Amino acid sequence: MCSQSSSGSDVITLTDDNFKKLVLDSDDIWLVEFFAPWCGHCKNLEPHWAKAATELKGKVKVGALDATVHQEMASRFQVQGYPTIKYFPSGKKTYDSAEDYNGGRTSSDIVSFALEKLAENVPAPEIIQVVNEASMQACSEKPLWVWAEAGAQTALEESLELGGFGYPAMAVVNAKKLKFSTLRGSFSETGINEFLRDLSFGRGQTAPVRGAEMPKIVSTDAWDGKDGELPQEEEIDLSDVDLEKDEL
């Protein structure tokens, strides 16, 4: 079956001999299927497992181990039924690192689970300040996070319908398709996560960038890393003001 990494499959064949080196000693996230060749449920899972492996290639490793042949690993992970799927997090692992996967058995279920785990383990991206045209162009071809001081890039804000409802404000931009979506909800971890999740599932609302092109970026000074200071209000001396008592 495909789970045995037959020709053309992206599923990695695991054995008693290579399991520790490939899975436990790697920094990658792994999903491992423990199967039996005679198992009907395993055969039903086969095309979904293979498709998930292809979709996750380069992001999450997908492997399979014949538990009827490689019984040492099956015993270590207390495999009692087939197919059994185990999740192994990123970073160095031990035999105790394995977690049971109890989600759906379609390729979309498997891929969604894996990508969610991947997102949890991806290091936080560098957030680059947009200070000139070059800094914006360098980011337009990559999935990067950028920021600009409120009011410093008015043309950019207008093209993405930012501002007018307070700061901080946020938009997701596809520079190639010239489409964007503006965060209208809460600017919080939960609000941003929900906003990005809806976009990833195609549920978010998008609009074309105004002017059908990315606006020109104004050159500005980079942030010096210090907090800004609020302007001090001038104190008004009322000692010389003569007010009648009934005016107080």
Q: Residue 30 pairs with which residues in a beta bridge?
A: 61, 88
Which tokens sit at 51? 């498709």
Cβ atoms 163, 209 nearer than 8 A: no
Strand, helix or coil at 123? Answer: coil
Whether 243 shows a pLDDT value over 60: the answer reads no
- Over residues 116-126, the mean pLDDT reads 80
CATH class of 2-121: alpha beta
Q: Using 50, 70 and 90 to split pLDDT, how confident is the model at 3?
A: very low
Specify the pLDDT at position 211. 82
Whether 126 shows a pLDDT value over 80: the answer reads no
Which tokens sit at 141? 């071809």
Cβ atoms 34, 42 nearer than 8 A: no
Whether 134 shows a pLDDT value over 60: the answer reads yes
Amino acid identity for residue 35 in this structure? F
**pLDDT tens digits along 72-82:** 999 999 999 99
For the chain, domain boundaries: 2-121, 127-212
**pLDDT tens digits along 75-105:** 999 999 999 999 999 998 999 999 999 999 9
